Amino acid sequence: MSKKRKIGNFFTYVVLIIISVIWLFPFVGLVLQSFRSYVTEFGGMVGYLVPKKFSLDSYIYLFSGECKFIRWYLNTLIIALCVTAGQTVVVVCVSYALSRMRFAGRSFLMRTWLILGMFPGFLTMICLYFLLKLLGLTQAGAVPGLILIGIASSGMGYYVCKGYFDTIPKSLDEAARIDGATRAQILISMIVPLSKPIIIYTALVAFMAPWCDYVFASYVAFGHSNSYNVAVSLQNWVWTNDYQGFFTRFCAGGILVAIPVTILFMCLQKYYVEGVTGGAVKG
Amino acid sequence: MGNFQKNITAAKETAKQFAGGLRDLGESIAKGSWKTKVSILIFGFAHILRKQFLRGFAFLAGEAALIWVIFGFGWKYISKFGTLGTSSGGYNPDGTISYGDNSFFILLYGILVLIAFVALLILWSMNLRDSYKCEKRLAEGRSLLGNKDDWHSLFDRNFAQTLLTVPVIGIFIFTVLPILFMICIAFTNYDKDHTPPAALFTWVGFENFRKIFDFGSAGLGSTFFKVLGWTLCWAFFATFLNYFLGMGVAILINRNGIKFKKLWRTILVMTIAVPQIVSLLYIGKLFAADGLINLFLMDHGFIDRAIPFWTNANYARVLIILINLWVGIPYMMLIATGLLMNIPADLYESARIDGANSFQMFRKITLPYMLFVTGPFLLTSFTGNLNNFNVIYLLNKGQPKSMSLSDGAGATDLLVTWLYTVTVTNNDYKIAAVIGIMVFIVTAVISLAVYGMLPSVKDEEGFQ
């Protein structure tokens, strides 16, 4: 190895280490501050990172009867699981129809959806709220309401999945059709197994979104704390200016939210990368 | 330009199909048998007499449902569509509640009825044309498709319809209808002073659009263009800084002789894995006036007063773009890593033999390839950043507010976060609707203008 190359590599390592420190700092900070007690120390924000004494007070609070964190957590988990299942099925169906079949109105449909996608999502918030209210799915019924909203329009997010289906050779379909298989059989027994990576990608993305849904969840569940999800509770804790433990509570809650989602993501990272790269190139 | 011509051709094609459909319809009515003529009023009548029960009853049920929507359910709303209601509800002098009109539902159901009417026309035409087609088939001596064939076709020839019905209905109710509704709201005076049923709202024409372009003291013109300017500026920096720096990090990690490649990547990917609601809220608070960074610096005597990260407009804007690097670089790094491996190594080899240095190789080989392949991605990420709600809202909610901006807008507010504030805090739905339409126009104009210029769209074979 030439001397020049060695110097180059040295600087590369320095840069990468600096990057790693910056990128990991918020996570380390979050973990450390979640172990600060709001009883023996200050429960708001402080100027030091490592707590004077490690304690589980914030976690104990979350699991005690004083707050409904477990309820909120379960709400979010239920929403996330249902949305994942529904959205994946819808996206696979739409992608298959648009990728494999030619029918009247196909390009009209795709153009319309493209145009609809250019409207900002929050524009229709109030109208959606009233639609849900008509169905009785606000406040106390917010959880099924959020599931419905999460699934209803998911057909418009077909791009990545359709792009993947397009790469599966059509000759496979034709061979199966000659053998007498119907379109439905082809979809279920051939395309779905062949598209495992992209289906996992679709499901993963669908699963992660509800954990961050503050805006709509807070709007639909307004004033009805049994229907909150974790995003609403975390946001409320952070923006509460009374520091009686709200900040450490947020840190602990955040850790509890982040751990399972992060572990799941890391396990399925391979598929995520595949979906993101494929989607980026096709646009 | 090519794109424009393509659109024209598509429009012509649609018009031709439409004209053909009308001709078919006329022919069906004129030349159809008496059974088909009865179908003009009773949908599916001819089909049912021909024992095509599945199709016949589907047409009939569709007709019944749509007619009920229009006349049974929606008539009392559509008839007031022109005024959006005249008598508001409230308490009568004797204390009882009187239920008046509700502009909200008049508008919403009115739109629904109009759409149902169009759907009824389409169904009517389908029913007649299909009936006539069947008659012609019989006249030619060919047999009809039976109920069983129709049923099977739903899983084979017409499988697309089966697959798309539920998603299309879902999108219709929860996206198309609300968007049409909000577009109408932009032409009304629906706000917190006109909230039905207590106070009705009504049509006001282009009043709201005039207000948003009005630079006078009562207008929102200067606020709107300031927010729009920052939105475009933000989207530009957020997209291109992330793009080039992300690519840079990917190249660094990919360098020959760098070890632990997987470790570096995993550290960066943590950002994508941890929900933003946790990470961005925490980072936002790190920079607060009483946050970790300010308190640490003050405790150790580096500064006397807190640095106004979020309360000074310029600090806040720069900081938000910098923090967005933390969010965006890992994502771009993942994409670039995959693509960089596709560049043939012998290209670099021959460049090296010709004496090119690394920077020249990047400029002449890597960059053109990446720009070519990721053109559409750059466009979608630009339009995505125009609407990047999470980063702005979770970090500082569009703060700081300033005297030069009205209607609750802050210095780092994008059009979408401002739209949110206007909806939720000010309850000024009419202005929110106008802002939403503006966001749509900006997105659409940029997408159309840029899409035609993309090299990978113009020249699909260029790099293959």
| B148 and B106 part of one domain | yes
- What DSSP letter does each residue of chain A carry, written as one string? --HHHHHHHHHHHHHHHHHHHHHHHHHHHHHHHHTB-TTTS-SS--S-SS-SSB--HHHHHHHSTTS-HHHHHHHHHHHHHHHHHHHHHHHHHHHHHHHH---TTHHHHHHHHHHHTTS-GGGGHHHHHHHHHHTT-SGGGHHHHHHHHHHHTGGG--HHHHHHHHHS-HHHHHHHHHTT--HHHHIIIIIHHHTHHHHHHHHHHHHHHHHH--HHHHHHTTT-GGG--HHHHHHHHHT----SSHHHHHHHHHHHHHHHHHHHHHHTHHHHHHHHHHHHHH-
Mean pLDDT of A109-120: 90
Between CA A148 and CA A90 the distance in angstroms is 12
Question: Is a pLDDT exceeding 50 seen at residue B464?
Answer: no
- Whether residue B166 lies inside any domain: the answer is yes
Distances (CA, A) of B287 to A38, A70, A102, B311: 21, 30, 54, 10
List Cβ neighbours of B305 (8 Å cut-off, separation of 6 or more): B298
A101·B182 Cβ contact <8 A: no
Contacts of A131 in chain B (CB under 8 A): 173-174, 177-178
Contacts of A221 in chain B (CB under 8 A): none
| B321 and B454 part of one domain | yes
Check residue A262 and give its pLDDT. Answer: 92
| B365 and B286 part of one domain | yes
Question: Is a pLDDT exceeding 70 seen at residue B166?
Answer: yes
Question: Is a pLDDT exceeding 60 seen at residue A1?
Answer: no
- Whether residue B15 lies inside any domain: the answer is no
Question: Is a pLDDT exceeding 80 seen at residue B142?
Answer: no
- Whether residue B9 lies inside any domain: the answer is no
B111 in contact with chain A, both atoms CB, cutoff 8 A:
no
Mean pLDDT of B195-216: 84
B423 in contact with chain A, both atoms CB, cutoff 8 A:
yes
Question: Is a pLDDT exceeding 50 seen at residue B108?
Answer: yes
Distances (CA, A) of A234 to A71, A140, A238, B33, B275: 14, 20, 6, 68, 12
- Whether residue B387 lies inside any domain: the answer is yes
- Whether residue B4 lies inside any domain: the answer is no
B173·A22 Cβ contact <8 A: no
Search chain B and give the residue with CA nearest A14. B252
Query: Is CATH 3.40.50.300 correct for A67-239?
Result: no
Question: Is a pLDDT exceeding 60 seen at residue B409?
Answer: yes
Mutate to test the interface with A, among B13, B165, B274 (most CBs of A within 10 A): B274
Which among B313, B330, B320 is positioned nearest to B287, based on CA atoms?
Answer: B320
Number of residues assigned to chain B: 464
Search chain A and give the residue with CA nearest B279. A26
Check residue B299 and give its pLDDT. Answer: 85
Percent of chain B with pLDDT over 90: 24
| B449 and B312 part of one domain | yes
A48·B440 Cβ contact <8 A: no
- Whether residue B2 lies inside any domain: the answer is no
| B151 and B256 part of one domain | no
Contacts of B181 in chain A (CB under 8 A): 124, 127
Query: Within the 399-418 window of chain B, which residues sit less than 8 Å (CB to CB) from chain A?
Result: 415-416
Contacts of A76 in chain B (CB under 8 A): none
Search chain A and give the residue with CA nearest B334. A273
Between CA A45 and CA A247 the distance in angstroms is 7
Mean pLDDT of B128-137: 86
Question: Is a pLDDT exceeding 90 seen at residue A38?
Answer: no
Which range is least confidently modeled, A198-202, A269-273, B325-329? A269-273
A123·B155 Cβ contact <8 A: no
Distance of CA A266 to the CA centre of its chain: 13
B368 in contact with chain A, both atoms CB, cutoff 8 A:
no
Q: Are B400 and B411 in contact (CB under 8 A)?
A: yes
pLDDT band per the 50, 70, 90 thresholds, residue B345: confident
Query: Within the 129-168 window of chain B, which residues sit less than 8 Å (CB to CB) from chain A?
Result: 152, 155-164, 166-168
Question: Is a pLDDT exceeding 90 seen at residue B233?
Answer: yes
B380 in contact with chain A, both atoms CB, cutoff 8 A:
yes
Of A26, A116, A276, the CB nearest to B282: A26
Which has more confidence, A32 or B33?
A32
Number of domains in chain B: 2
A123·B291 Cβ contact <8 A: no
B352 in contact with chain A, both atoms CB, cutoff 8 A:
no
Distance of CA B22 to the CA centre of its chain: 33
Of B173, B270, B380, the CB nearest to A23: B270
B266 in contact with chain A, both atoms CB, cutoff 8 A:
yes
| B48 and B98 part of one domain | yes
| B398 and B431 part of one domain | yes
- Whether residue B281 lies inside any domain: the answer is yes
Check residue B36 and give its pLDDT. Answer: 82
A153·B419 Cβ contact <8 A: no
C-alpha angle A53-A57-A59 in degrees, rounded to nearest 5:
120
Residue where a domain stops, chosen among B205, B240, B265: B205
Between CA B223 and CA B213 the distance in angstroms is 9
Check residue B96 and give its pLDDT. Answer: 66
Question: Is a pLDDT exceeding 90 seen at residue B41?
Answer: no
Query: Within the 213-232 window of chain B, which residues sit less than 8 Å (CB to CB) from chain A?
Result: none
How near does any CA of chain A get to the CA of B102, in Å?
13
Of A20, A123, A215, the CB nearest to B436: A123
B14·A250 Cβ contact <8 A: no
B108 in contact with chain A, both atoms CB, cutoff 8 A:
yes
Question: Which CATH number does the domain housing residue B241 bear?
Answer: 1.10.3720.10
Q: Which residue do the tokens 């047999």 mark?
A: B143
B10 in contact with chain A, both atoms CB, cutoff 8 A:
yes
A262·B274 Cβ contact <8 A: yes
| B117 and B249 part of one domain | no
Of A5, A106, A235, the CB nearest to B257: A5
Q: Which domain holds residue B180?
A: 32-205
Check residue B98 and give its pLDDT. Answer: 65
Mutate to test the interface with B, among A122, A219, A230, A273 (most CBs of B within 10 A): A122
Contacts of A211 in chain B (CB under 8 A): 275, 277
The residues of chain A that CATH labels 1.10.3720.10 are: 67-239
Contacts of A24 in chain B (CB under 8 A): 267, 270
How near does any CA of chain B get to the CA of A67, in Å?
19
**Secondary structure in 3-state letters for B240-285:** HHHHHHHHHHHHHHHCCCCCCHHHHHHHHHHHHHCCHHHHHHHHHH
Check residue A22 and give its pLDDT. Answer: 93
Between CA A17 and CA B252 the distance in angstroms is 12
pLDDT band per the 50, 70, 90 thresholds, residue B230: very high
B383·A247 Cβ contact <8 A: no
| B72 and B179 part of one domain | yes
Check residue B1 and give its pLDDT. Answer: 39
Chains A, B: CB contacts under 8 A, how many? 267
Residue where a domain stops, chosen among B139, B171, B205: B205
Question: Is a pLDDT exceeding 70 seen at residue B97?
Answer: no
| B184 and B253 part of one domain | no
| B254 and B195 part of one domain | no
- Whether residue B12 lies inside any domain: the answer is no
B18 in contact with chain A, both atoms CB, cutoff 8 A:
no
Mutate to test the interface with A, among B104, B130, B164 (most CBs of A within 10 A): B164
Check residue B2 and give its pLDDT. Answer: 47
| pLDDT one-digit tens code per residue, A206-264 | 999 999 888 888 888 887 888 888 888 888 888 876 667 788 888 899 999 999 999 99
- How many of the other CB atoms lie within 10 Å of CB of A9? 16
B295 in contact with chain A, both atoms CB, cutoff 8 A:
yes
Question: Is a pLDDT exceeding 90 seen at residue B460?
Answer: no
B443 in contact with chain A, both atoms CB, cutoff 8 A:
yes
Reported ipTM: the value is 0.90
**Whether the predicted model's global pTM rises above the 0.90 cut:** no
Question: Is a pLDDT exceeding 70 seen at residue A283?
Answer: no
B272 in contact with chain A, both atoms CB, cutoff 8 A:
yes
Which range is least confidently modeled, A71-80, A84-93, B138-147? B138-147
A126·B269 Cβ contact <8 A: no
Which among A227, A239, A213, A277 is positioned nearest to A45, based on CA atoms?
Answer: A239
